[in-house]
Structure 1
């Protein structure tokens, strides 16, 4: 964090660096951020990707996170319904079930110091496996996917192969081959964990296809999609061709179909994104609450007040305003994926007086923005959920825990639901307090925290190279607004790994990597999944997971635990049910969890990764090396294992549908993402390439089989770790701030006197909302993905941004900027959110910004709120002997997550 701050001091809020051969603008200028992420989205619709990922336009398994242009719009269109309020309400009970299951596990650890992040990992894995992969029931602490995904998200991408990928022009195929070969030679099992994740996803899809076929034969009518697999299989086609070239998010029509590989891609990204980020968010929140017992008490009071019943309904979750503030403040202090707040300039453009070349990347300096005291006030370094209680306390672009603009995190709402439910159920039963090993601060690993030192040295916007890619990293609000919002048509692509391949042509590109027409198509299809109506439908599912988690927590009363483990189980429980067709809770027994954990533990500094970034080797050569390596070294690529599981779930659902059709059974309303996407499945989709406009474009609402896999993959990945991490951060912050914990508990107790928490009343928890917002301000779990690729040379201010440059919002810097959040920007103060945002647009980037803002944001919020409500109704969260004063943080897979979040769960009087 110190390097970026130093650069800002020397060079100002916007400066350039090279990331290998790639130009990067790093900015904390809010005007630039608004331009890149929102206003000029059509120029910045691409994300920054790892060169090892290959071409996001042509890669068959491109998902919504990596896709750009028309492909991104197509994938986003398809996947967006998965995260609508309607969809979230459908899965709410599933999420709550995982939260309850986690609480049961925590009860066994009462009065014991634990690493709570482990529990949050189990929680988020439980949810995402049920939502994305059709997992039946809770598999907490028994989910084989968890270990795989943990390994993947903790992977260090700074190896020699990654350097080669970034810094040499070697063809990507050669770099990928070297990547997997070296992984096997040096016994690195993380890349193989990725392979296993893909295999798991593939199997889940194939099983679903088989099940559909059998159902059709038996004359069974197809019901409503049960999870993401069903949802995507409904729109599956064999082949698609998205338009490549100029893109406009508004003036493009996209097919609402996905290929098989795209379905795998979506499931993969949802699995990965939904696992670690949410678990980390919960872990950070737990840490902050343990450090601030007054905040925890306040939150518990809110939970007790609003959630008096045994369960917490979807609507009631929205009443927890202090809980909302707690999570927002946590994500301000710990922007989980700040490093992905970037956009690639797809068309040269001008922002202000700055010309940005096509191909350059603009990165929002999220950490700098989130801690900017000019934005957040003198207490920007402090955990103050109250800052969120009176509206948004920041300008647009200053808060980016979920990104910004059209590419804002699609799963943001699901993450919030997971986190809120988890924390509610925990705090209803327990207090979280510090333990001997809690520590004063969290120790953060990874490169996401380099930016603050750079900011001090170079200013709010600076450039760098990532291998061969140009990067702009910025915490300049104006630039962020331009890149992520105003000039979205120029910056509609995300940063993707060179190892990924061409996102425009890759069959299983998912909504995160897709760009242009494909992104709009995928987003259009997925959006209804995350609508309020959809969220209402899944509310019971989320609450079921939350209550299941609470049962596990009850076994840990008075023990110090790593609460992140429980939150990981919680989130994978939900996403497994939503995206993979999982039946019932599988907490601590979820085969997806080890796969996802390995995925997030991947060290991306491998030789193959370096080749992809730093050499001009063709992607096909590097990919060949990867495939050969994955065969030789089976445990090296968790992503491929994940795709295999998604494919199996997808095929099972297809088979079931076919059997139902043969038996004369009418298809019912989609029950999960698999059904939703299968309803839009077609065999082939001709994609449009070229100039893109988010407004003037019509897209098909169909998906190919590979696209369905891609969407399920990204939902599985994105829905697992981010939400678990958000809950972990919130738990940590509440344990550190018992006054905030008490305040939140009072709100929960007041709003929820029953056993369950209904969907509608969940919105009443204003302090809960503030807690999560503050958590995600302090710990923006996905700040590292707030990046856009400049798709067309443009000018922002007086800066020319070339096509092909990546622009990254310096999310961590922005979220801690004392000029934005005040002198207490480094403090956990949920109250700063209670009277509405007082900071400029784009200053809060927890879920990204602009058209690509996280599609699952509302689902994430629902998960988080339900989890925390059920926890705080029963427990206090306090620090333990190993809690520490700060969290030890690491960056893996562009996400920041804590090593562990040790807190003590105490039964409430």
Structure 2
């Protein structure tokens, strides 16, 4: 084909050039989605969006983009348009008042069944039904009955730390806390003893670590999905999963075996069990019985679903997997950061130790006496303020909504950057300082501190995590103290940008006997 009668260009090359132009124009249009609604933000690259800047910057501790663009600004993670929100009043609308328009999370829709039936991943009516079933398993009475098991695990943790102190070892604290939380979840959720504290390479730990060490950008398939979200359907049809294949296979087979064995036990033995697995199975049985009685008394319209429908075996499996994974990483990370904070603030550690001595003495930690550890509450709150395990909370926008003059369009996603939000100097003076005293009579905005989320979708395991952390720290401080090393930094700033909050360099400390 001749161009202007001067150059003879093959038709194939003309078509290729045309396709490339269309791809370029589509990418430019995609990157205008949020700016068309008046939402400012850093300039995105074609198709990459702001992914390159996010990875390079890491966690934005100083809220540099917020300072430049304001409390509401856009960030494109490949093909996912995110609206970062720092305004507490807007956050309140999103999490509570307009919850129905922001009820779901940003979740990759891949071949993850049955693990994807966990309540964290579910949406809409299914999420609400599961929440109603699971919530009673985290009641005060249920947690009280589990404290003895948690304390047993904490005693083992303390013995291991004391042994390290006796041998003057330098320890990677996350290894000890990760094994502790894995043992707690195994015993309180499933009634099994996996003794990972005496074997840091226990298969449950190695497989759980793979979930959090699985950097999505290291996977070509996941990288493509981030750039082109519509490829999720193709990837799902081809069998690609969000989780490593070996991890998925291990947990599915292990949990199925646990559920099968539990269902085959005599009723008398099941009644004696107080772990979460049994509580979920009992809740399912009770709801199934109630549904049966309801069916006898009234007919159901065709196609209707009972909102109290019991969990299926696959749904129980999904919740079980979530307990293992979430219960392992979140609490272990918080204890890890708490140990660092105590080592670098010896005055805080001394005051906390005195409180433990006064309240507990040498007695075991239980549900009642840990409730009297007020200063420990402040230490944990301050740890979670500076180092929230989940650095950002996200919500999908299911209906275009206007809040305080800002339009949040359907198809976009809200992101609440917790690290910078909880280091807001207007809410927390000297925001980078570890200061538990700020929680004395703290008069804070409800949405200025959100380590467990807020509203109907806030963390369902919050109370268990708090009990577990307090028992663990109380037992440790009865016996040992944490000491910094010569190269321990005064401030942690080098965090990974994607996934859970983790320091790029492991936290190493010394422990010394009291």
Q: Deviations over 1:650-678 (max 9, x none)?
A: 332343245435xx756415532322333
Task: Tell me the equivalent position of 1:591.
Answer: 203
1:763 aligns with 2:371: yes
* Aligned partner (choices 260, 277, 292) of residue 674 of structure 1: 277
Q: Which structure 1 segments of 5+ residues have no match? A: 1-17, 26-162, 168-338, 340-443, 631-636, 686-696
2:172 touches 2:508 (CA, 8 Å); kept in 1?
Answer: yes
Shift of 1:560: 2.1
Q: Report matched runs for 1:535-574 at 5 Å.
A: 535-557=143-165, 558-574=168-184
Task: Tell me the equivalent position of 2:452.
Answer: 847
Q: Deviations over 1:194-237 (max 9, x none)?
A: xxxxxxxxxxxxxxxxxxxxxxxxxxxxxxxxxxxxxxxxxxxx
Q: Distance in 1 between matches of 2:253 and 2:497?
A: 27
Shift of 1:522: 1.3
Task: Tell me the equivalent position of 2:139.
Answer: 531
Q: Deviations over 1:549-595 (max 9, x none)?
A: 11111111133211121111111111122334422643142321011
1:446 to 1:705, Cα distance in 2 relative to 1, 3 A = farther
Q: Distance in 2 between matches of 1:781 and 1:715?
A: 16
Task: Tell me the equivalent position of 2:234.
Answer: 621
Secondary structure at the aligned position of 1:880 is classed as: coil
* Aligned partner (choices 583, 592, 600) of residue 212 of structure 2: 600
Q: Distance in 1 between matches of 2:244 and 2:58?
A: 22
1:901 aligns with 2:511: no
2:352 touches 2:375 (CA, 8 Å); kept in 1?
Answer: yes
Number of corresponding residues? 451
2:153 touches 2:183 (CA, 8 Å); kept in 1?
Answer: yes
Task: Tell me the equivalent position of 1:825.
Answer: 431
Task: Tell me the equivalent position of 2:96.
Answer: 485
* Aligned partner (choices 385, 409, 425) of residue 802 of structure 1: 409
Q: Report matched runs for 1:375-394 at 5 Å.
A: none
Task: Tell me the equivalent position of 2:421.
Answer: 814
1:674 to 1:759, Cα distance in 2 relative to 1, 3 A = same
Shift of 1:23: 6.5
Secondary structure at the aligned position of 1:524 is classed as: helix
More strand by share: 1
Secondary structure at the aligned position of 1:828 is classed as: coil
Q: Distance in 2 between matches of 1:626 and 1:893?
A: 24
Q: Deviations over 1:400-458 (max 9, x none)?
A: xxxxxxxxxxxxxxxxxxxxxxxxxxxxxxxxxxxxxxxxxxxx997433771111111
Q: Report matched runs for 1:36-47 at 5 Å.
A: none
Q: Report matched runs for 1:108-257 at 5 Å.
A: none
Q: Distance in 2 between matches of 1:626 and 1:653?
A: 26
Secondary structure at the aligned position of 1:716 is classed as: helix
Task: Tell me the equivalent position of 1:509.
Answer: 117
Q: Distance in 2 between matches of 1:666 and 1:730?
A: 39
Q: Distance in 2 between matches of 1:893 and 1:450?
A: 14
Q: Report matched runs for 1:317-336 at 5 Å.
A: none
1:723 touches 1:864 (CA, 8 Å); kept in 2?
Answer: yes
Relative contact order, CA 8 A, sep 6+: which one is greater?
A: 1
Q: TM-score, normalization: structure 2?
A: 0.80
* Aligned partner (choices 347, 365, 383) of residue 775 of structure 1: 383
Q: Distance in 1 between matches of 2:335 and 2:230?
A: 41
Task: Tell me the equivalent position of 1:610.
Answer: 223
Q: Report matched runs for 1:723-742 at 5 Å.
A: 723-742=331-350
Q: Distance in 2 between matches of 1:22 and 1:744?
A: 52
Secondary structure at the aligned position of 1:753 is classed as: coil
Q: Distance in 1 between matches of 2:209 and 2:451?
A: 22
Q: Tell me how large the CA RMSD over aligned residues is.
A: 3.1
Secondary structure at the aligned position of 1:816 is classed as: coil
1:445 touches 1:888 (CA, 8 Å); kept in 2?
Answer: no
1:876 to 1:616, Cα distance in 2 relative to 1, 3 A = closer
Secondary structure at the aligned position of 1:757 is classed as: coil
2:396 touches 2:414 (CA, 8 Å); kept in 1?
Answer: yes
1:554 to 1:625, Cα distance in 2 relative to 1, 3 A = same
Q: Distance in 1 between matches of 2:106 and 2:32?
A: 11
Q: Report matched runs for 1:781-792 at 5 Å.
A: 781-784=389-392, 786-792=393-399
1:753 to 1:460, Cα distance in 2 relative to 1, 3 A = same
Shift of 1:846: 0.9
Shift of 1:523: 1.1
Task: Tell me the equivalent position of 2:108.
Answer: 497
1:21 touches 1:469 (CA, 8 Å); kept in 2?
Answer: no
Shift of 1:877: 1.1
Shift of 1:872: 1.1
Shift of 1:640: 3.7
Secondary structure at the aligned position of 1:854 is classed as: coil
Secondary structure at the aligned position of 1:792 is classed as: coil
Task: Tell me the equivalent position of 1:55.
Answer: none
1:783 touches 1:895 (CA, 8 Å); kept in 2?
Answer: yes
Task: Tell me the equivalent position of 2:20.
Answer: none
* Aligned partner (choices 186, 193, 204) of residue 576 of structure 1: 186
More helix by share: 2
1:783 touches 1:812 (CA, 8 Å); kept in 2?
Answer: yes
Q: Which structure 2 segments of 5+ residues have no match? A: 1-27, 36-46, 289-304
Task: Tell me the equivalent position of 1:13.
Answer: none
Task: Tell me the equivalent position of 1:453.
Answer: 64
Task: Tell me the equivalent position of 1:660.
Answer: 265
Task: Tell me the equivalent position of 1:705.
Answer: 313
1:22 to 1:473, Cα distance in 2 relative to 1, 3 A = farther
Shift of 1:24: 7.4
Q: TM-score, normalization: structure 1?
A: 0.46
1:507 to 1:744, Cα distance in 2 relative to 1, 3 A = closer
Q: Deviations over 1:489-528 (max 9, x none)?
A: 1111112135467xxx978421112122111111112112
Shift of 1:818: 0.6
1:164 touches 1:611 (CA, 8 Å); kept in 2?
Answer: no
1:464 aligns with 2:71: no
Q: Deviations over 1:793-813 (max 9, x none)?
A: 211111121122211112111
Q: Distance in 1 between matches of 2:221 and 2:257?
A: 34
Secondary structure at the aligned position of 1:583 is classed as: coil
Shift of 1:603: 1.6
2:255 touches 2:317 (CA, 8 Å); kept in 1?
Answer: yes
2:110 touches 2:233 (CA, 8 Å); kept in 1?
Answer: no
Task: Tell me the equivalent position of 1:346.
Answer: none
Q: Distance in 2 between matches of 1:22 and 1:604?
A: 25
Task: Tell me the equivalent position of 1:415.
Answer: none
The runs of at least 4 aligned residues of structure 1 exceeding 4 Å deviation read 20-25, 163-167, 498-501, 624-627
1:21 to 1:649, Cα distance in 2 relative to 1, 3 A = farther
2:117 touches 2:319 (CA, 8 Å); kept in 1?
Answer: yes
Task: Tell me the equivalent position of 1:861.
Answer: 466
1:549 touches 1:587 (CA, 8 Å); kept in 2?
Answer: yes
2:397 touches 2:408 (CA, 8 Å); kept in 1?
Answer: yes
Q: Distance in 1 between matches of 2:127 and 2:353?
A: 41
1:578 touches 1:672 (CA, 8 Å); kept in 2?
Answer: yes
